[in-house]
Amino acid sequence: MMKNIKYQKMFRSFSSILLLSSFLLLVGCNKFLDTQPQNVTPVSDYYSTVAQINSALTGVYSVLASPNLYGDAMWDAYGAPTDESFYTSSSTITGPQVMNFTSSDPNIANTWAELYIGINRANLVLDNLNKPSMDSTSRATIKGQALFLRAYYYFLLVSNWGDVPLRLNSTSSPDSVSFPRTDSKIVYNQIIADMTAADSLVQPITFYGFGGRISKTTVEGILARVCLYRAGFPFTDDHLPWFKQSLYWSNKVLNAGIHSLNPSYSQVFINHCQNVFDIKESMWEVMFYGTGNGNPYPQLGRVGNINGVTCKDLVRGYCYGFISAQSKLYNSFNVKDTIRRDWCISTYTDTTSAAGVTARSYYSKTSIYNRCDGKWRREYEIGNNKQKNNTSINFPLLRFADVLLMKAEAENEVNNGPTPESYNAINQVRRRGYGYPVNTPNVISDVPSGLSYAAFQQAVYDERYKELCFEALRRNDLIRWGIYIPTMKTMAQQMPTSAAALASVAANNIQQKNVLFPIPIGELSLNPGIGKQNVGW
Whether pLDDT at 499 is above 70: no
Nearest to 222 by CA among 275, 145, 299: 145
> What pairs with residue 319 in β-bridges?
311
Whether pLDDT at 442 is above 50: yes
Q: Mean of the pLDDT values across residues 96-121?
A: 96
What single DSSP character describes residue 182?
B
Nearest to 52 by CA among 22, 8, 10, 82: 22
What pLDDT band is residue 290 in, cutting at 50, 70 and 90?
confident
* pLDDT given at position 34: 33
Which carries the bigger pLDDT value, residue 16 or residue 478?
Answer: 478
Q: Would you say 446 and 456 are in contact if contact means Cβ atoms under 8 Å apart? A: no
Collect all residues with Cβ–Cβ distance below 8 Å to 210 and sequence separation of at least 6: 277, 279
Phi, psi of 312 (to 5 degrees): -105, 15
Whether pLDDT at 11 is above 80: no
- Mean pLDDT for the chain overall: 89
What pLDDT band is residue 315 in, cutting at 50, 70 and 90?
confident
Summarize pLDDT for 35-68 with one digit per residue, the tens: 334 455 566 678 999 999 999 999 999 999 999 9
Q: Mean of the pLDDT values across residues 359-366?
A: 89
Lowest mean pLDDT of 31-45, 293-307, 415-429, name the range.
31-45
Instruction: Name the amino acid, one letter, at 519.
Output: I
What pLDDT band is residue 502 in, cutting at 50, 70 and 90?
confident
- Map out the domains of the chain with their CATH numbers: 2-66+96-257+517-526 (1.25.40.390)
* pLDDT given at position 198: 98
Whether pLDDT at 286 is above 80: yes
Nearest to 421 by CA among 280, 251, 283: 251
pTM for this prediction: 0.92
* pLDDT given at position 178: 83
* pLDDT given at position 134: 95
Lowest mean pLDDT of 193-202, 254-263, 357-366, 480-489, name the range.
357-366
**In the chain, what percentage of residues exceed pLDDT 70?**
89
Lowest mean pLDDT of 34-48, 453-467, 512-526, name the range.
34-48
> What share of residues in the chain are helix, strand, coil (percent, to 5)?
50, 5, 45
Summarize pLDDT for 135-156 with one digit per residue, the tens: 999 999 999 999 999 999 999 9
Nearest to 408 by CA among 398, 391, 420: 420
Summarize pLDDT for 159-214 with one digit per residue, the tens: 999 999 999 998 766 666 789 999 999 999 999 999 999 999 999 999 999 999 99
* pLDDT given at position 171: 78
Identify the burial level of 377 via C-beta atoms within 10 angstroms of its C-beta, where 0-12 means exposed, 13-18 middle and 19 or more buried: buried
What pLDDT band is residue 297 in, cutting at 50, 70 and 90?
low
Whether pLDDT at 371 is above 80: yes
Q: Mean of the pLDDT values across residues 318-324?
A: 94
Whether pLDDT at 376 is above 70: yes
How far apart are alpha carbons 118 and 3 in whole angstroms? Answer: 26
What single DSSP character describes residue 534?
P
Q: What is the largest CA-CA distance in the chain?
A: 75
* pLDDT given at position 498: 63
What pLDDT band is residue 12 in, cutting at 50, 70 and 90?
very low
